[in-house]
Amino acid sequence: MKKLTLLAALLIVTMVTAQTEKPKDSTLTKFDKLQQNSAERILSGNINSGVTVGGYGEITYNQPETGNGELDVQRLVLLFGYKFNDRVQFITEIEFEHVKEVFVEQAFLQYSFNDKISARGGLMLVPMGSINEYHEPTTFHSVERPSIEKSIVPTTWREIGAGVYGRFDNISLKYQAYIFNGFASVNGDKYLGGKNGLRNGRQKGAESTFNTPTFSGKVDYYGIQGLRLGLAGYFGRTQPDEDDEDLDGADVGIAMVGFDARYRLGRFAARGEVISTSISDSEAYNDLYGSDLGSQMYGWNLEGSYNLLPSEKKMELWGFARYESYDTNSKMDGAADRNLSYDRDEWTFGLSFLVANGAVLKADYQIKNNAVAGVEPDNQFNVGIGVSF
């Protein structure tokens, strides 16, 4: 409770001390441009028609305290946009993971009625948390994505659906609302639960099973210069196999709510988020499949950073510290006991050197812990190179 009170107090202080100005278009300042993802940069471009190319990638080195380190081309993503006319655009991202795996990360068509409303359909990112939509390596300081954005929000989380997107600059609000297919109850030989929560249920647009629709929406407020606030929700049920859909426990209900905040004032920046997920019918699901899916998952983090170079320099050297706490098994229905190894917290300290707008060098150290008495996970040193264009 003390940690949550500290988080709330910091967010209130940043809102009170922020300089209130006339709301601006979110693409005008350097800081705001850093809050755009690759797809948004292409959609907001000023070309009349034709093809636009972009992309991002990251190469990492992870060295735990014990054992060998790992060098990896984690991902290389090629992004293509095509503008048919002033109203109709198509966006797609092709991702190569670990050199050997290929995925389609996004593929959607957008029809823009005006700045206030656009219709979208296809394979799209689920708007939840601070990283899932903004996961390019130049948009966050650490080498690895925050852990709650992998275990609580299963980034990169995308599904097939349709909906609306737009903004109202006069009240400084951006909104998104979509209907998606949901998580798979069983994904091949993988079940929901464990240390990764819902991650195994992502269908990623690959011959996705569809039984019932899910709803996803998010509202972002940008009326105070340097401050961004987001409130997101995801509600629905998982998609069971056709052979199992009449069985008790074949699907579960999911209600996920997230709040995220980002703030920058001069050379200081802070960000934080809280994600809570409630799962109904988890006891019946565990009885049917022998899994350990919790009835509640919860996580939060808070990060502060400071640019160590003078503001007039084109390069930026950010020192940062982040604390996060997350539990994919915070509550269990029925007689099953919680697995305390899923109740984790981490400190991450490091440097992020933005050598150009779109190119970054990173290094950090992670101190990891869980709630199991006498068991300490390996701490880890990380180094990374990231690009986005």
DSSP assignment string, 200-224: GG--TTSS---SS-EEEEEEEE--S
Residue 273 lies in a domain: yes
The total domain count for the chain is 1
Residue 194 lies in a domain: yes
Query: What was the pLDDT predicted at 2?
Result: 42
Q: Record the tokens describing residue 176, joined without a space.
A: 């998104």
Residue 358 lies in a domain: no
Note the pTM of the prediction, 2 decimals: 0.89
How far is the C-alpha of 236 from the C-alpha of 214, rounded, in Å?
Answer: 4
CATH code of 316's domain:
2.40.160
How far is the C-alpha of 56 from the C-alpha of 135, rounded, in Å?
Answer: 10
What are the pLDDT tens digits along the chain (389 aa)?
444 444 444 443 333 333 333 333 333 344 444 467 888 888 887 777 789 999 999 999 999 999 999 999 999 999 999 999 999 999 999 999 999 999 999 999 999 999 899 999 999 999 999 999 999 999 999 999 999 999 999 999 999 999 999 999 999 999 999 999 999 999 999 999 999 999 999 999 999 999 999 999 999 999 999 999 999 999 999 999 988 999 999 999 999 999 999 999 999 999 999 999 999 999 999 999 999 999 999 999 999 999 999 989 999 999 999 999 999 999 999 888 999 999 999 999 999 999 999 999 999 999 999 999 888 899 999 999 999 99
Cβ-in-10-Å burial (0-12, 13-18, 19+) of 16 comes to exposed
Q: How many CB atoms lie within 10 A of CB 304?
A: 16
Please name the residue that has the structure tokens 């800081």.
31
Please name the residue that has the structure tokens 């701490």.
379
Residue 71 lies in a domain: no
Residue 137 lies in a domain: yes
Residue 338 lies in a domain: yes
> Residue 275 is part of which domain span?
2-51+102-344
Q: How far is CA 30 from the centre of its chain?
A: 21
Query: What was the pLDDT predicted at 35?
Result: 67
User: Please, which residues have CB within 8 angstroms of residue 176's CB and are 6 or more apart in sequence?
Assistant: 127, 163, 164, 165, 216, 217, 218, 219
DSSP 334: T
Residue 368 lies in a domain: no
Amino acid occupying residue 268: F
Query: What was the pLDDT predicted at 43?
Result: 83
Residue 134 lies in a domain: yes
Is there a contact between 378 and 357 (Cβ–Cβ < 8 Å)? no
